[in-house]
Amino acid sequence: MASLVEIVPSSVVVQVLRGVFALPEPVKRLIAGKPVRLDGHRLSVDAQLLLTMMRLEGEQRLGADTVEEARQGLARSTVYLPKVPARPVATRKVDAGGVPARLYTPKGLADGSPLLVFYHGGGWVVGDIDTHDTVCRYLAVHAEVRVLTVEYRLAPEHPYPAAPDDALTAYEYAVAHAGEMGADPSAIAVGGDSAGGNLAAVVGVLAERRPDFALLFYPATDMSVRRRSREVFGEGFYLTDEDMVWCSDHYCRVERRAEVKASPLLAEDLSGFPATYLVTAGFDPLRDEGEAFARRLEEFAVPVALRRQEDLIHGFANTWSLGGRFREAMSEAAGALRTGLYAGPRDRS
């Protein structure tokens, strides 16, 4: 069956979607249905409404029958979310040590700003720098930073450890060439969502020159075991347990999933990991492993702010332009990044 965006012009779909999310909350509740309560949390009406709209459109999960269909599905969903921050952001291509990347620079940002090296999500199989363009623009504008987003190689064409190898290569390039990009070499963060959060965490563990801050959105941190949140939220909240199995099987062989480049939670020593803002979603199968990583960081005296957005679902960073709870959560994350980079230690001499 054809999807809504294949039948109706995208401009119409966008206007309808914006109109729906701009409705008063009681009206949104009528559309979304009865409140959803699970594991002691109540799903926000914005998240529930988004899931309702996704069911109407036919896009209910990240995975698909084929890799190509999954990639097309995620790319198509960006048609819904074209809004960008009002402040203009210049972009240019960067060859980050052989890894394609894109540099975002907000208009008027002074030279010597901090830099965020960002890795997109998508289960190491789908997604690209275009699917996460609005995320990078938002963080660049609202955290007052330059953002270098990385086009790491995807599985199954390039299975593990291609993605973490590219992540490390791009980060090392950023460290060596920060000044050329107009950034401060002593204020470099890593960040990412989901699989991208996994790669950012790997860089935080393994990079010779550790990042100055880490911004982790609902990161995948341990491929070796199943945790309770996968059982509780593994169906009906966008990212499913089936999706996670599908992505993992395309990405990494079972016998290698306990390696640090795949599961940074299992690193023997996390001392030296940068100060971190780690945010999870309450209705997310990845919730528990993200929070387990935060607790392990605390065991090694790493400054970490763990924030559970208890009423949201996986992927909320990409939906900030819908407003409401999604934008509130992203605003908090951008504020944490700005504080961590501008107020943190800057002297690397």
Count other Cβ atoms within 10 Å, centred on residue 8: 12
Count other Cβ atoms within 10 Å, centred on residue 268: 6
Selected catalytic residue, list 166, 212, 284, 311: 284
Selected catalytic residue, list 41, 132, 250, 314: 314
Annotated active-site residue 250? The verdict is: no
Q: Are 97 and 109 in contact (CB under 8 A)?
A: no
CA distance 139 to 279: 15
Q: Hey, which residues does 211 pair with through a beta bridge?
A: none
Q: Quick one: tokens of 308?
A: 């559970």
Q: Are 341 and 190 in contact (CB under 8 A)?
A: no
Residue from 139, 133, 125, 321 nearest 217 by CA: 139
Q: Are 318 and 335 in contact (CB under 8 A)?
A: no
Count other Cβ atoms within 10 Å, centred on residue 91: 16
In which order are the strands placed within the sheet that holds 213-217?
89-96, 99-106, 146-150, 113-119, 183-193, 213-217, 276-283, 304-313
CA distance 246 to 263: 17
Annotated active-site residue 41? The verdict is: no
CA distance 331 to 320: 9
Place of tokens 């779909």: 13
Selected catalytic residue, list 194, 229, 248, 321: 194
Place of tokens 């060439």: 177
CA distance 288 to 89: 35
Annotated active-site residue 349? The verdict is: no
Catalytic sites, residue numbers? 194, 284, 314
